[in-house]
């Protein structure tokens, strides 16, 4: 859950337990707050590593070329594929 802390220096966004942030340790014993920007950057890095692999990009390019080829055959016979493949 996103938790916002306001200080005289500005607003800071964290990921942590909203129950603990709002109601204290009597409701939740987990005081951990991690900077939201750090969490989002790490998540994006991990997703890019997992998804943007050469194999995945090749498969995506093949699917796009197949769909473009099917559309081009219907609308303009003799058109070429994207990416030179």
Distance of CA 42 to the CA centre of its chain: 10
Averaged pLDDT for residues 2-26: 80
* pLDDT tier, 42 (very low <50, low <70, confident <90, very high otherwise): very high
Asked if 12 and 1 touch (Cβ cutoff 8 Å), the reply is no
Compute the average pLDDT of residues 53-77. 86
| Confidence (pLDDT) at 17 | 86
What distances in angstroms separate CA 53 from CA 41, 50, 59, one per listed residue?
18, 7, 10
Cβ neighbours of residue 27 closer than 8 Å, sequence gap 6 or more: 19, 20
Per-residue pLDDT, 9:
77
């Amino acid at each position: 859950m996103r938790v916002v802390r306001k200080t005289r220096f500005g607003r800071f966004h964290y990921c942590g337990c909203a129950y603990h942030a709002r109601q204290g340790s009597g409701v939740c014993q987990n005081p951990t707050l991690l900077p939201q920007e750090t969490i989002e950057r790490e998540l994006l890095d991990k997703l890019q590593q997992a998804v943007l692999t050469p194999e995945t990009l090749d498969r995506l390019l093949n699917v796009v070329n197949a769909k473009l080829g099917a559309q081009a055959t219907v609308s303009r016979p003799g058109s070429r594929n994207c990416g030179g493949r």
